Chain A
Amino acid sequence: MSDSTISDLTNIGDSQPARRGLLQLGITLAGACYAGAIGYPVYRYLATPARRAEIAEGEITTVTVAANGLPGPGTATIFLFGSRPTLLIHHQDGHYVAFDAVCSHLGCTVAYQPENHRIFCPCHGGVYDVNTGAVVSGPPPRGLTVYHVEAKDDHVVISKV
């Protein structure tokens, strides 16, 4: 009995193309539902740390650098703004500037070179301006992100613009 049913099944496609098309559509839709129902939790599961870090990063808008962490005139220091390295330069004339220290080219951390009066990325030779963070030469597609710096008596407050 089941044998004849089975041979009928294999012939359905040829005799009833509309039903076959509907069946294929149904199978494809069901497959997509399963792929989504499995794929979405797996994606969220794997993405958790990145999402959490992003949210935490967004919540940090200011960083205070205490007196003992401040660079002397003509030098610079790198501190973390959330998880991002940030470059704080203390110029000879006493004023401070702060930039996101991640090179806009391929993500290396840049260095302040007072002797050459430039911000330099050793990975591919990108050069940035020490006052504005703008690209001077090399491969970087855009300048470094500038932060707002407020110098108080014994500490410096850096905030996102």
Chain B
Amino acid sequence: MSSFPKSEASVDSGPMHGVYKWADERLGLTDLAAFAAHKQVPQHKHSFWYYWGGISLLCFIVQLLTGVLLLVYYRPGKEAYESVRQITYDVDFGWLVRSAHSWSANIMVFAVFVHMFSVFFMKAYKKPREFGWWTGLGLLGIVMIFGFSGYLLPMDELSYFATKVGLQLPSTLPGMGAVVNNIVRGGPSVGENTVQRFFALHVVVLPLLFMPLLGLHLALVQKHGNALPPGEAARPASERRSVPFFPNFFAMDLAMWLIALNVITILATLFPWDLGQPANALASAPVGIHPEWYFMSQFQLLKGMGLVLPGMMGEIVGMGLFTVVLIFWALMPLFDSETVAGKRGRIATWTGYLVVTGMLGLTIWGYAAL
């Protein structure tokens, strides 16, 4: 606080000072600045992983902005493919907007996964941060549905068949067939009705669910601060180092945002997103059809189970296994709740290794088997 009179002196006489004072009295800007300067972020050899939540957030902002731009020309329903064709080939810089939206979506999924695993291995889900873990998993789930629903919107061959297969899987579960048919797909096969409702989901329902959950997630990060990894927490307080959130950590966060933005731009420019042939209900599925990489491990799990178990049993057992792991994963803060690392902590860590290895292995297997 002692540095404030000095910095205020520089704007003391200008008209900006009057405006600042007027706004400050009403918004409490000085308190906010003091709070941000007071807030400390731990500094240690694993600090790099703290940036991945921020990178996910940047991608979400890019998605919002490019998404609104795409909305200007996109038409769901019958004309879906034609409107995406126009965006890609007719509208000035339309290819860039669409490509940035697609690349940023993929990088966002990647960043969210990195963020989740770094939180997991830093044990940042422990008391009092359980709700941070749960809101984060909720956000991850919504991100996956964002990806799945957005993938259909261009209605080209690939998106058509990927959605067809993706919706067929849950239909194999008892009682789910009717739900998928009547509610999700809007008919016996993927078509105009599916695009129209996926569109409503993608641009209205999901953002409405995502944003308040994100607000809560960020508020919780704000409330509890960054968690210390166990190795760091074990050290005496005098040996730990930290930096002020503002300006030091903020500047680094901003630098990461710029790097991420540049990566998105370079990828979107050099590798513009492709648009395939229009979806055709009469055509056979193209050879080598496969889901997006972030669904590949789940897909391959089901495929692998199908190899050893007869009929639809493979899918059912695979989905059952996936559900059990997911529930254990979500409840990890309650299972691994000891403050001092013990047996449960080691089980949690090994579960993490198993899940990462399993996901990577299944993904590689999935691509190798194409």
A: residues with CB less than 8 A from B are 2-3, 6, 9-10, 34, 41-42, 44-48, 51
Contacts and interface: CB of A to CB of B under 8 A. Distances in A.
Given A45-B69, A45-B97, A46-B72, A2 B92 contact: no
Given A41-B92, A41-B96, 11 more contacts: A3-B241, A6-B243, A41-B97, A42-B93, A44-B92, A45-B72, A45-B93, A45-B96, A48-B90, A48-B91, A48-B92
A45 B241 contact: no
B247 to A, nearest CB: 8
Interface of A is mostly: helix
Residue from B43, B69, B93, B248 having most chain A Cβ neighbours under 10 A: B93
User: How many interface residues does chain B have, given as a range?
Assistant: 10 to 19
Given A9-B248, A42-B69, A46-B72, A2 B241 contact: yes
Contacts of A51: 92
A47 B94 CA distance: 11
Interface in B179-236: none
Interface of B: 43, 69, 72, 90-94, 96-97, 241, 243, 247-248, 261
Contacts of A45: 69, 72, 91-94, 96-97
A41 B93 contact: yes
Contact of B43 (A2, A34, A41, A47): A2
A10 B243 CA distance: 12
13 contacts: A2-B43, A2-B241, A3-B43, A6-B248, A34-B261, A41-B96, A42-B93, A45-B69, A45-B72, A45-B91, A45-B94, A48-B91, A51-B92
A6 B40 CA distance: 13
Contacts of A34: 261
Contacts of B72: 45-46
Contacts of B90: 48
Contacts of A6: 243, 248
A107 B248 CA distance: 55
A44 B93 contact: yes
Given A2-B241, A3-B241, A47 B92 contact: yes
Nearest to A13: B7
A44 B72 CA distance: 13
A2 B240 CA distance: 12
A46 B72 CA distance: 8
Contacts of B248: 6, 9
